[in-house]
Amino acid sequence: METRTIEQYVRKHRTALVATASGILYGGGWTLGYFTSLNTASAAVLITAAVVGGYDIARAAYYEVKSRTLGIKTLVTLAAVGAIAIGAYWEAAAVVFLFSFGSYLEGRTMRKTRNALQELLELAPDTATVRRDGELVEVPAHEVAVGDVVVVKPGEKIPVDGDVVEGESTVNQAPVTGESAPVRKAPGDELYAGTVNQDGALEVRTTGSGSDTTLQRIIERVEHAQEAQSPTESLIDRFAKYYTPGVIALSIGAYAVTQNAILSLTLLVIGCPGALVIGPPVSIVSAIGNAARSGVLMKGGEHLERAGKIDLVAFDKTGTLTKGEATVADVEGFGTTADDALELAAIAEKKSEHHLADAIVEAARKPTSVASDGGTTTATDGGTTTAREADTAAAGAEQPPVPDPEDFNVVPGKGVVARYDGHELLVGNRALLEERDVDVSQAVADPSAPARTAATLPSTSCVTGLSSA
């Protein structure tokens, strides 16, 4: 059993083991020759390094010749044999080691790229909960038919592409669309397989499943991008196709003219462009795989090379360069101070998983209740300072803890309801407050205060209600 396990390990890591063994022997042989007078031992070790690292290369070269093609492996094999023949053992071991190490790097890069694709595949769940004949049935995700209604609970990944037919929630679409902030979804909105439902149950009518989803099409694009050659790769392939026979012909011609075998074999050794041929495909595939793992889809090596020549990028959409991390831009209290209103909202939101809840709680922990863009002046007891300076000072101050609510419930699509110190706290939209019979006057819904502590444009409003219970 142990022997079989060792064989499997060697087969799986053969390229790495060969490159490592060749490198160690190469280093050992060079060391013997450089620091000692054991030239014979040094030559033997270097030849062994060339044989160990060159066996797989020579076998591949044999099949190249057998198929009537002369590739780079043929040239490397001839160069190594020629170097040994003229006594240049160090050069033979170096050529073979560098090529075998390059092959290892190429294989490792391809494995990392395949792992990146596997990570994309794992974004979509394997099963889906489908409503059929009034019952919920769990089926493989690829067997969900177009038109089936899929039920997605809070915290679950969405298994299919579809449209929301019932329920409201926020969905993290970053794995598919790259949007950094969760997106609110309501009936009629489109959903993608592989995205994550956050805080509310959703019923989704399927428009695509299995291989017919946006996520699968993204994966196919990545695979095609890796297979497509860049202009540099195409040029190198064409170069290698003619270069190898050219070097061999030049070597033969040199021998025919000079009758000098050493000169002929030397031409073979110095004419081996292994790094040049291996470099471009390894770098292209590695870049595409790393980009895919980071959520950036490159359509091919051609576009990757073109991106490397970009000197200026213009963004035409507000928010393109933001992180999608919400911050509290402005706080206004009606019948209470802004700090009190923020503190109550933070208590209610402390146990919430909504991305805006984190911003509210974080703001309540700071001595200043307002974040800004850094360009607005803020009044302080000591005079006037910039909001950026105020935020910097606040960041260094001790953050007071936010108390835990005594009770907490999420109202999907509307907000949260909590209890604290004998009061019921409501944090959410107008629908939540009206549902709880909290009157929202026009002055509160559309305040006309001429000045704000921070000149920003908040993208989301939060209304807090406090009532005795």
Question: Per-residue DSSP letters for 151-164?
Answer: EE-TTPBP-SEEEE
pTM over 0.95: no
The tokens of 52 are what?
A: 């160990």
Distances (CA, A) of 36 to 33, 46, 92, 251, 354: 6, 15, 20, 34, 70
Contact 89, 43 (CB under 8 A): yes
pLDDT at position 274: 57
pLDDT at position 164: 92
Distances (CA, A) of 306 to 102, 194, 230, 278, 298: 25, 30, 10, 20, 11
- Maximum pairwise Cα distance, the chain: 107
CA distance 185 to 202: 9
The tokens of 268 are what?
A: 């073979």
Contact 436, 467 (CB under 8 A): yes
CA distance 342 to 357: 11
pLDDT at position 326: 77
Pairing of strands 190-191, 161-166: antiparallel
Per-residue burial over 400-411, b if 16 or more Cβ lie within 10 Å, else e, is: eebeebeebebb
Q: What is the pLDDT along the chain (469 residues), one digit of tens a residue?
A: 466 677 777 777 788 888 888 889 888 888 888 787 778 888 899 899 889 888 888 888 888 888 877 777 777 888 888 888 878 888 888 888 878 887 787 677 667 666 666 666 677 788 899 988 878 888 988 888 888 899 998 888 899 999 999 888 888 887 777 676 788 888 999 998 888 888 778 999 999 888 888 878 877 776 676 566 666 666 766 776 777 788 888 888 888 888 887 777 777 767 766 556 666 666 777 777 777 666 676 666 777 778 888 888 877 665 556 666 778 888 888 878 888 888 888 888 888 877 788 888 888 887 554 444 433 434 444 444 444 444 444 444 555 688 888 888 888 778 888 888 888 888 888 888 888 888 777 777 776 544 333 322 233 344 444 443 3
User: How are strands ordered across the β-sheet holding 169-172?
Assistant: 183-185, 169-172, 196-197
In 399-466, which residue ranges form alpha helices assigned H by DSSP?
430-435, 442-445
Residue extent(s) of CATH 3.40.1110 domains in the chain: 338-468
Residue extent(s) of CATH 2.70.150.10 domains in the chain: 127-212
- Measured over the CA atoms of residue 89, residue 95, residue 98 and residue 101, the dihedral's sign is negative
Q: Of 382, 349, 386, 389, which Cα lies nearest the Cα of 365? A: 349
Q: What share of the chain is helix, strand, coil (3-state, %, to 5)?
A: 50, 15, 35
CA distance 205 to 158: 12
379 three-state secondary structure = strand
CATH class of 338-468: alpha beta
Question: Per-residue DSSP letters for 9-50?
Answer: HHHHTHHHHHHHHHHHHHHHHHHHHHHSS-HHHHHHHHHHHH
In 86-143, which residue ranges form alpha helices assigned H by DSSP?
89-121
* CATH number, domain 127-212: 2.70.150.10
Spot the catalytic one: 133, 311, 316, 439: 316
Active site residue 339: no
